[in-house]
Amino acid sequence: MRYLLLLFITVCSCTNNSLQKTSISGYVYGTTYNIVYFSDEELQLKMQIDSLFNVIDMSMSTYNSNSLITKINDNENIELDNHFKFVFNVSKNIFNKTDGYFDPSIGPLVNSLNFGPKNYDLPQGNLKALVGLDKFNIIDNKLIRPFNSFIDFNAIAKGYSVDVISHFLSNNNIANYLVEVGGEIRSSGINIDGNKNWRVGLDTPRFDGLQKDLYKIFDLKDRSMATSGVYRKFKIDSLGNKYAHIINPKTGYSSTTNILSVTVISENCIEADAYATALQLMSIDEIAILANKNSDISIFIIYYDDNNEMKDASFNNFPSI
């Protein structure tokens, strides 16, 4: 999660019922973000939102040399803040529910494959000995973990930031908003422009990097959504083999699944973000089993079948239009 924040704010657009529409967009954590909200007065929340992004960055950015998580990964004996503790506890919960497929402790493996900020010159077996969130615990406000391990919340922190900004808007008596950070989304109320539900779209998976086109469009009402895919961020070796940035904690290597993207809808974006990452590593049968055990989340996957044709499947009443 690289911290870079440039805000471009447009205020004004009065709606039919006199609510003010505010749109904020820019760059944060190495990606883009967009926030739209309606309020009964012209609320200028730029500085507060900027501050919230910065606080999360100082807690959980592995690319920030002064962040709390960097100091932990450098083996400093440091007390945890509430942001870190909350994200860790949610991570432990999803780790258990996904049988270890979601595991923020895979940092050494991520770094060894040049997808992270640190170099690890250790044999694969030694690195795997550092991995496993069941080896990590919070005791007396400290993170107890294997020495030289590396914890990385990049697969969950964007979703958490969406929730933090959303709660901030709600606490300012804003009922109608859409918050999006790097494709992770949370909606509340309706889009008062046109008096309609918030509508979102899923990109068609493409490895060629050409112009995006939408695979699916649907309404997202008072829910959160996150998508994980293997088609945007990957490395290519000298033989032309593609290596996805999502590392399988069970094998220690990049994902080789036939699933191109996984989208999860849940109440909170932090959980949607974590589940989407974990499900990207599973087989379709494993996803179906998890969906059956967790009716509170809806799932949509795009995959290649045995004939190398693009197909999709949905679980737990994923919305459609």
CATH number of the structural domain spanning residue 131: 1.10.3980.10
71 within some domain: yes
266 within some domain: no
Per-residue pLDDT at 208 = 61
262 within some domain: no
35 with 179: CB under 8 angstroms?
yes
Name the domain count of the chain.
1
**Closest among 153, 309, 107, 310 to 301, alpha carbons compared:** 310
235 within some domain: no
pLDDT tens digits for range 82-111 = 999 999 999 999 999 999 999 999 988 887
Per-residue pLDDT at 68 = 98
Per-residue pLDDT at 272 = 98
270 within some domain: no
117 within some domain: yes
284 within some domain: no
Low-confidence ranges of the chain (pLDDT < 50): 1-14, 16, 241
| Rounded Cα gap, residues 46 and 214, in angstroms | 30
81 within some domain: yes
Query: Helices 46-60 & 157-171, crossing angle to 10 degrees?
Result: 150
Per-residue pLDDT at 8 = 43
Sheet (strand 20-28) strand order: 6-14, 20-28, 31-39, 176-181, 184-188, 224-229, 259-266, 298-304, 310-315
By 3-state DSSP, what share of the chain in percent is helix, strand and coil, each rounded to 5?
30, 30, 45
Per-residue pLDDT at 105 = 95
Per-residue pLDDT at 30 = 85
Backbone angles phi, psi at 253, to 5 degrees: -125, 170
Q: What is the span of the domain harbouring residue 73?
A: 55-144
> Hey, what are 63's tokens?
């690319």
